[in-house]
Amino acid sequence: MSAQQTANLFLQSLSPTDFELLRPDLRAVQLNHAQVLFDLGGNIENIYFPESGIISLVVPINEGDAVKLE
For the chain, what are the domain ranges? Answer: 3-69
Using the predicted structure, report yes or no on whether residue 58 has a pLDDT greater than 80: no
Q: Which of the pair, 59 or 32, is modelled with greater confidence?
A: 32
Mean per-residue pLDDT for 2-6?
A: 71
First to last CA, the chain: 28
Going by C-beta distance under 8 Å and a sequence separation of 6 or more, which residues neighbour residue 51?
Answer: 6, 7, 8
DSSP code of residue 7: S
Mean per-residue pLDDT for 50-62?
A: 82
What is the predicted pLDDT for the residue at 17?
94
For the entire predicted model, the pTM comes to 0.69
pLDDT digits (tens, 9 = 90+) for 30-45: 999 888 888 878 888 9
